[in-house]
Structure 1
C-alpha cells in the first residue's frame, strides 16, 4: 500500500514588499509517489548546467595531471581541488579549431559556441548560439530566470578590441542566437535583486533599499506561516537557506558601504563591489549557490575575468597585470606568475564546489544534481593557440558521472564533443553541435577506468 501525502509545490515562493523569494527543494515538496514515478519534483530531474570561464589559457605543464585515467595525483595548479577531486574530471587535449586564427576575442567567443566568429569591427557580428542557451531553451523554461550570465569585470569597451574583432566577442560568453549576445552582470547587488527582488532602475533599487533594512524582513510573516506546515528537517533547511541569503545580503551591503573609503577603485571593477577580487568572486559564486538551491535558474555562465584583462592579483603576490604576463616569451618567472593566477582561480572554483557538495538536496547534494564545466578557450597564451585546452568537469553524480579521473586524448578532439555530452546529460538531445565528431562517452562510463 502506498501512503499518499499532500505536497508543497516545487515552485513555491515567499512574497513580500518588492520581494519574491524562492525556496530550496524540501522533503514536503516530494510526494511519496516520486519513489515510483517521475514528477517535476523528482530531484533527479533538477539537473543544472554551469560554465566558468578562465581567461588567457594556462601554463599547461603545471595544469596537466601527471597520471592517466585516475586523478589520484593532482598537478600544482589543480591542487586546490583535493577535497572535491572525487567529483572532478580533468580532460586533456580538447581543442577549438573554429577559434583560429588565434585571438583573445575568438577564445572567449568560441568557448561555448565552438563556432567561427565573423571578422568584423562593426555591428554586423555573427557567431553561433552557445551551448548554455541551447540548454536554457529546454531546461530553463520552468524557472524564474531561464539563464543567468555573470562576470567579474565591467564590459564597457566597444568597437574593435582584438585584431579587427569587435569587442562584443570577448565581452560576452553567452549568445541566444548568432546575432544576439547576452551581456553579463558583475555587480552583486544587481544580481541579488534579479534573484530575489523586483529589479528596476538603479533609482528604483535604491528607493526600495531605503524602505527596508533587509529583503528577508518583508517576508517574515509568511515564513512563520510556512514553517508551521513543515517537519523539523524542512524547518532547519529553510532556516539555514534564509540565513545564507541574509549573510550574502549583508556582505553586499558592507561592500557598498566600503566603496566610499576606496579612493582608487579598480577600473575593471564596478563601484560598490568588494575591493578584493577573491571576496568579489566568492560573492558571485555564493549567489550562484543560492540561485541553484532556490531553483531560480538552472543554467549559469560566469566569466572569471575578461580576455586581455590587465587585472593584477596583489592578494596572492602577483602585482603584474595578467595579460602581459601571458606573453611571457618563455621567461620562467613570468610563467610561474601565470601559473599562480591559474591556481588562484581554481581555488575559488574549488571552494564553490565544496559549498555545492555541502548543500543537501533530495537524495544527494546540490553538486550531485549539477554539472559544471570550468576552462578556457585558449591553450598556450604565449602563442595564442586553441589546442590542449585546460578543461575540468565537476558534479553530476545523479547522472552517473564518474569523478576522480583524468581523460587524456591521444589526438586533439573537439571541445564541441564535450558540449554535446553535457547537453545530453541534462536532457537536451542533439545529433551534433558545431564541429562535434561524437561524445565524451568516457565521462559517464565507469567501465572506461
Structure 2
C-alpha cells in the first residue's frame, strides 16, 4: 500500500452544487485510505478514426513449429495457422522473438505483463511467501491498449472495451482476496487497477446499443450534463489528502465519470454503415460467444462508440477446457494448462492451439465484414494477437507468438507478411502497433523490455 495521511469512511462522497438548484453526490471507488493498514473522412471533414485491439489467448503456441516457413508476403496459412487462411492477406505473422523475462515470479504472469505492459511485474507488499505468488502480481505501468486509448479515445463514448470469453483465473486457496491482477486480466490503466471484462455478449449489447439510436442524442443528456463540473472542486481537495495509488484510483474514477457524460450527452452520428445489431444473447459455446463479441465490436467501431478493445479469450496459463473442440477438463483429466505440462504438444494440444488461431481469424473477418468509406472497418484497425508464453509445455519464451491484422489507415503493410525477429525483442510489435495508430510515444516498455524499434517491413 502507498503512504497515506489519514483514514476515511467507505461511504465518503464527492459533493457539489448542480446548476445552482441543488446538490449532487458522487460515490468513490474503494481507496486504500478506506482500508486498514494491512490491506477516411467523416461528414464534418475529420478523418475516420483509427482503432486498436488486443486479442489474447493463454498458454502460447508450439515454438519452432507454429510459424510459416516462407518469409514475406508469400507465407502460407497452414498447420496451426490454418484457420487464418480466409483472412491471410490481412495478417502479418511475427515470429522468432525471445521475450526477456527475468524468471523471478510466475512465468505466465511475467510473460503477459512483459508483452502487454512492457515491464516486470510488481509484487504487492502484502505477499508473505505464499505458494501462489501469481495472485499478488500486477503491471508496473499501463497496458498497451490503455496507452493506445489515451491517444485514440477522442470523443468516443467508451474509452476502451474490455471483453472476456472463458472464465478468468480466480485466487487459489490460501490467497483469497489477494490484490494481484495480472494472472486474471489483461487491460490495466495503472498498477492494481484493471478493466473487468464483459463476459456475456447480451450484456455488452445492452451496454453499447440498449439506448443507442444512430443520429439521436440520449434523452438523459440535459439532466446529467454537469455532474463532473459540480464535484470537481471537492475532488481536487480530496486528492491532496490521498496517497499515490489512491490519487491514481481517484483520477481514473473521475475519468470514468467523464466517459459516462460523453455517453449521455454526445450525439453519436455514426458512420454510413452504423446500425443497431440484433441482441446476440449469451451462447453456451465459447466459439459462438467469441463470434458474437467480434460482431458487436465491429459495429461499435463502425458507430464510433469506441476505438480500442481488449479481448481476453482465456487468461494467462489457460486453466480452462474447450468443449467446442472436445477438449474439456473431464476428457483431459486436467485443465488445458496442466494437460499440456503432462503431455507436451500432443494431438489434443495442437488441436487447441489451432482453435485459438481460428477464433483470432474470425475476429479479423468480422471487422472486415463491415463496410466503411472506400473499404471496411478493418482497414483502419491494428489488431495485436498474442499470448503469455511462447510454449506452455516448458514455459518457453523463444519464438513468441505475435500477429498483427488490419491496415491502420494505410500505416501497416498490405497484404500481410511474415517477419522473423531473429531472437530480438518481441515488444517491438506492440511498439509498432502504437506507431501505426499514431500514438506519440517515443518507446514502449521499461528495463529489458524497452524498445523504440519498429518491426522491419511492417510499417508503410
**Shift, 1:145, TM fit:** 0.5
Are 2:72 and 1:69 aligned?
yes
Q: Aligned pairs, how many?
A: 347
**CA–CA distance in 1 between the matches of 2:137 and 2:327?**
38
Return the match for 2:338 from 324, 346, 352: 324
User: Residues 443 and 172 of structure 1: is their aligned pair in 2 closer, same or farther, counting only changes over 3 Å?
Assistant: farther
Among candidates 342, 350, 359, match of residue 353 of structure 2: 342
Name the counterpart of 1:185: 198
Cα distance 1:181–1:96, how it changes in 2: closer, same or farther (>3 A)?
Answer: farther
Distance across 2 between alignment mates of 1:161 and 1:84: 45
| 1:443–1:394 Cα change, 3 Å | farther
| Residue aligned with 1:60, SS | coil
Change (3 A) 1:445 1:279: closer
Matched, 1:119 2:123: yes
Unaligned runs of 5+ in 2: 1-39, 128-135, 220-270
Q: 1:49 aligns with which of 42, 47, 52?
A: 52
Counterpart in the other structure of 2:436:
425
**What is the TM-score when the length of structure 2 is the normalising length?**
0.68
1:282 matched to 2:291? The reply is: yes
Which whole-Å deviations, capped at 9, do the CAs of 1:159-202 have from their partners, x for residues lacking one? 7899xx9641111111112342222221222222221236xxxx
Quick check: which one's strand share is greater? 1
The aligned counterpart of 2:452 is 438
Change in CA separation of 1:60 and 1:158 when aligned onto 2, cut-off 3 Å: same
Aligned to 2:151: 138
Kept after mapping to 2: 8 A contact 1:59/1:338 = no
The Cα shift of 1:354 comes to 1.8
Q: Greater helix share, 1 or 2?
A: 1
Secondary structure in 1 matching 2:399: coil
Residue 351 (structure 1) shift: 1.8
Note the aligned Cα RMSD (angstroms).
Answer: 3.0
User: 1:173 maps to what in 2?
Assistant: 186
Q: Give the Cα separation in 1 of the matches to 2:163 and 2:437.
A: 21
What's 1:205 paired with?
A: none
1:95-114 mapped onto 2 (5 Å cutoff): 95-98=98-101, 100-101=103-104, 103-114=107-118
Alignment TM-score, normalising by the size of structure 1: 0.70
From 295, 305, 326, give the equivalent of 2:304.
295
Offset at residue 139 of structure 1 (A): 0.9
Would you identify which runs of 4 or more consecutive aligned residues in structure 1 move more than 6 Å? 159-162
- What residue is the counterpart of 2:247 in the other structure? none
Change (3 A) 1:75 1:30: same
CA contact (8 A) 1:128 1:179 kept: no
Unaligned runs of at least 5 residues, structure 1: 1-24, 32-38, 199-214, 223-233, 253-272
Counterpart Cα distance in 1 of 2:304 and 2:353: 30
Counterpart secondary structure, 2:397: coil
Compare 365-374 and 124-133 and name the one that shifted more: 124-133
The residue correspondences of 1:152-171 to structure 2 (distance < 5 A) are 152-155=165-168, 157-158=170-171, 167-171=180-184
Match of 1:3 in 2: none
